[in-house]
Amino acid sequence: MPPALRVRALTKAYRSGTALAGVDLDVAEGEVYGLLGPNGAGKTTLMKAVAGLLRPDSGTLEVAGRPFTRDSLRGIGALIDGPGLWPRLDARQHLRTHARLRGVDPDGAVERLLPLVGLDRVADRRTSAYSLGMRWRLGIAIAMVGSPRLLVLDEPTNGLDPIGMRDMRALLRRVAESGATVFVSSHQLDQIARTCDRVGVVVHGRTRYEGPLPGLAEDGDLEAGFFSLVERASGGVR
């Protein structure tokens, strides 16, 4: 089976400098894949490219074995830069609106997604009254309206308290169990460690490690392994 996402030699430069300097990675079908890297490593840039929000300068993207085109986006759901919500609308109204925009049955989307993200009991509450964790979960439900095969999530545990993080981890596992592939970025190593099947570590726009998370450890210490990888890739300069 081809990988859900294959990235080869992807590059992107902004006026300010190089964000991606030749990223390679393979996200297997059905897994939760964690994208790790220090601030400025290029994680968001890579996720934006996969979500069709920016065009890379060179390199290739393949989705489920096919070269990336606008059509690939039908199979991709993304949540980048946090959930964009209407404060006066409730969760149900959000899902119905997004379903209509995507040409999906609104009732079916509400029925399928509210329980998945654990918002069924607060579905009629305006989102202005939601906690950050609830907002993120609604954002994920919106990203899943079109039943994507690949869900791309940029830092979905940012700002969450421990309970919010636990709920998010459980949600990502449920999404994977429902048959989708999850490509999630974080700089919180412990969150990734508890959630992901495999990881990719990007530093200065290049992949420095890809594989099961334990392989990153140094003498059994994940954090030490991660730090020394980042230091080696940065030539001691950060």
Ligand X SMILES: Nc1ncnc2c1ncn2[C@@H]1O[C@H](COP(=O)(O)OP(=O)(O)OP(=O)(O)O)[C@@H](O)[C@H]1O
Residue type, 43: K
In degrees and rounded to multiples of 5, residue 19 shows phi and psi of -100, -40
Pull the structure tokens for residue 72.
Answer: 């690939």
Q: Which residue among 3, 37, 83, 148 contacts ligand X (CB under 6 A)?
A: 37
C-beta separation of 107 from 141 below 8 A: no
Name the β-bridge partners of 189.
none
Task: Give the footprint of ligand X on residues 112-171 (CB under 6 A).
Answer: none
Among 174, 187, 194, 198, binds ligand X (CB under 6 A): 187
Mark residues 44-83: x for contact with ligand X by CB under 6 A, - for none. Answer: xx--------------------------------------
Pairing of strands 5-14, 17-27: antiparallel
* Residue 126 DSSP one-character state: B
Name the residue among 174, 172, 136 with its Cα closest to residue 156: 136
Given the rule CB under 6 A, which of 40-48, 82-90, 169-177, 216-224 is the region that contacts ligand X? Answer: 40-48
Residue 6 touches ligand X, criterion: CB under 6 A: no
Of 186 and 195, nearer to ligand X (C-beta) is 186
Residues within the interface to ligand X (CB under 6 A): 14, 16-17, 19, 37, 39-45, 187
